[in-house]
Structures are given as C-alpha cells and as structure tokens.
C-alpha cells in the first residue's frame, strides 16, 4: 500500500472507515435473538393438550429458544426453564399423561392406567401389557430423587387382584423385573421403584427444572421446583402470564425487548390458558399499550370461550327478532 498514490490511500482508508461504521450500525440494529425471555406466571390453569393440563400456582423462569426466538405458534420452538415454581396436577390429568403420552406406544409395557391418591400415597391400577394383560395395582410412596426426578416407591403390589409383594420379596423379584421401560421415554424402573422424569413425560412445550419436593394429597400431585416461587414486583394482576426481555414472536408480531403480560379478564377463578388456542382468547379480549410500548392483553378464559360465543349468538338472535318486530 506504500506504493499507492497518497490520494488513493486516503480514499481506501475512508472507504474502510465507512464500511466499519455501516457494519457497526447494522450490528446494533439487529434484534436480540437466541436469548431467553423472562417468564413469570401466577394462578394459571395451563393446558398442554385437550386432556392434559396443570395448575401453575406460581412460576418464575424463562422461555429458552431452541433456535432464534420463542414463538407462541410453535410449541417446539422453546423450552420453559423453571427457576422456581409450585405446580399442582390432578390425578385425572396424570392418568391422561400416562395413557396418552408416556405409555401410548404399541409396545408400552403398561396400559389402561388409572391414578388416584390414597392418603399421601399414589395408587396406580392398570394392565401388564406383555404378561397376558394381567391387571395390577400398586400403592407407592411419592418422593424426589437427588437429581430432581419423581420416584414412585412401591409399598404394595397386587396382580390379578392378589397380593404379590410378599412373594416377590421372597423370590427376589422386583418391579423392574416385571416392567420393561427401555422403550418408554422419561420412565425407568429401578428395583421396586418407577422413576419419572418431569422434563420428558409432558407434551410440548418441554419444561426444564430441578424438582425440589413432591407430595400427593386430595386427588392432587403438588410439585415444587426451586424454592416454589417469589412474589411479583411488576404485575399487580392476580392471575397472569408475564414475559420480559429479548425477542418473542406471536402471530404476525415480533416483540423486541419483550414487555408482554397476558392477564385474566375474570380474576375470580384461575386464568385458563391454552397455547393452541391463544388467538381465540386474544381476540375475545382486548389489549392496552403502555407508555413504554409494552402490551397488556386481557384474555378470556379458554374454558369460557364457548359460553361467550353462545351468549353473543343469543344476543344477536334477540336483536334480529327485535329488528324484525320494529320493521313490521
């Protein structure tokens, strides 16, 4: 470059500086993608499917994108990473999880399962699929493992309605010998215990978090992650789902430096939310914009959408009848 004319050197230097400035401005203008979106939830009935749901009493965590950003319309696009939460699940919902998701495969070792509580223990009835569909029943203590999974420790076992736990102990037979879980995702058998991985046994979106404690009572299984949750500091609503920071997409909108709160329009009961139908809940409610361009979305509970539609139809029919009378 020392052999080039001075004017040409100055031109090349200016061009390089200009390109550097343009590159810097372009980099600064890019949206922040690939970063987790902070998430906080309170008193939410969260539907995974039509038949599987949980009651999130409180949750603090984040939506971790698997690619560029979390997308509400794609449940596979993110992981719900839990820092702290208290989540309850009915035994009916757990029954659906086991039958429709965990043991749904043709070669699953168990089928036709039903779950109930017996005091502070969990009772599971079903059939051993690869042993002539023999009916069985177990009563188990429910515990957590050191790595945050769910342990079902069998205390009583019946097969074909006969007590067999004593015979199994006598002959050195364990529950793990009767149930082959090698092809079942999120389930392992260990001696007289069944181990369930809460990160794998639920339908999408996938959850991630270390389970601190668990208990069964009154037809519910209550799971505590971390310290269970902390009070909110920025949302005054009773029932809500709040998202903060990074980039989030929902529908045709992409929100940078996310400031989105989904609020229950009827706080008298839990916020009933179904991600598969969030657009219906959104359009049935209304939205407010904050001075900082945040969004506050007041949503109708999913389980009340049908009622709201029927009421609207009835009102419309009455209006049409009244108009017809006036015309006459």
Q: What is the DSSP string of 177-192?
A: HH---TTSTTEEEETT
Report the distance separating Cα 53 and Cα 288, nearest Å: 28
Q: Which two tokens stand for residue 44?
A: 């939410």
Cβ neighbours of residue 67 under 8 Å, at least 6 residues apart? 34, 77
Q: Which of 33-37, 60-64, 117-121, 180-184 has the lowest mean pLDDT?
A: 180-184
What local confidence, expressed as pLDDT, does residue 14 receive? Answer: 41
Q: Which of 50-59, 123-132, 266-275 has the lowest mean pLDDT?
A: 123-132
What local confidence, expressed as pLDDT, does residue 5 receive? Answer: 54
Q: What is the per-residue pLDDT across 182-211, written as a single tens digit (0 to 9) for each?
A: 778 899 888 888 899 999 999 999 999 999
Q: Is 287 helix (H, G, I), strand (E, B) or coil?
A: strand
Average pLDDT, the chain: 83
What local confidence, expressed as pLDDT, does residue 86 receive? Answer: 97
What local confidence, expressed as pLDDT, does residue 81 receive? Answer: 97
178, pLDDT greater than 80: no
Q: What is the per-residue pLDDT across 289-305, written as a single tens digit (0 to 9) for each?
A: 999 999 999 999 999 99
315, pLDDT greater than 80: no
- Mean pLDDT value of segment 283-288: 96
The percent of residues above 70 in pLDDT, for the chain, comes to 75
Asked if 206 and 199 count as a contact pair (C-beta separation under 8 A), the reply is yes
Domain boundaries, the chain: 91-225
What local confidence, expressed as pLDDT, does residue 162 receive? Answer: 62
């Amino acid at each position: 470059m020392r052999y080039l004319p001075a004017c040409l050197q100055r031109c090349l230097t200016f061009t390089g500086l200009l390109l550097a400035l343009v590159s810097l401005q372009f980099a600064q203008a890019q949206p922040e993608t690939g970063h987790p979106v902070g998430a906080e939830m309170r008193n939410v009935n969260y539907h995974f499917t039509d038949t599987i749901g949980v009651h999130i009493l409180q949750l603090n965590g984040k939506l971790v994108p698997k690619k560029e950003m979390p997308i509400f319309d794609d449940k596979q696009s993110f992981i719900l990473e839990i820092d702290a939460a208290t989540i309850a699940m009915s035994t009916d919902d757990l029954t659906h999880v086991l039958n429709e998701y965990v043991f749904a495969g043709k070669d699953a070792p168990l089928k036709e399962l039903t779950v109930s509580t017996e005091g502070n223990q969990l009772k599971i009835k079903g059939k051993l699929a690869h042993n002539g569909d023999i009916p069985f029943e177990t009563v188990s203590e429910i515990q957590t493992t050191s790595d945050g999974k769910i342990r079902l420790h069998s205390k009583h076992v019946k097969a074909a309605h006969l007590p067999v736990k004593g015979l199994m102990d006598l002959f050195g037979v364990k529950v793990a010998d009767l149930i082959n879980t090698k092809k079942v995702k999120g389930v392992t058998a260990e001696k007289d215990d069944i181990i369930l991985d809460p990160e794998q046994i639920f339908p999408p979106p996938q959850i991630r978090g270390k389970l601190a404690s668990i208990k069964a009572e009154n037809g519910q299984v209550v799971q505590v992650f971390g310290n269970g949750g902390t009070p909110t500091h920025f949302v005054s609503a009773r029932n809500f789902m709040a998202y903060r920071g990074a980039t989030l997409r929902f529908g045709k909108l992409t929100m940078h430096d996310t400031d989105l709160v989904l609020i229950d329009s009827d706080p008298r009961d839990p916020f009933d939310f179904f991600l598969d139908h969030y657009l219906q809940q959104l359009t049935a409610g209304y939205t407010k914009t904050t001075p900082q361009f945040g969004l506050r979305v007041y949503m109708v509970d999913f389980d009340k959408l049908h009622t709201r539609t029927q009421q609207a139809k009835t009102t419309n029919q009455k209006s049409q009848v009244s108009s017809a009378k006036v015309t006459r």
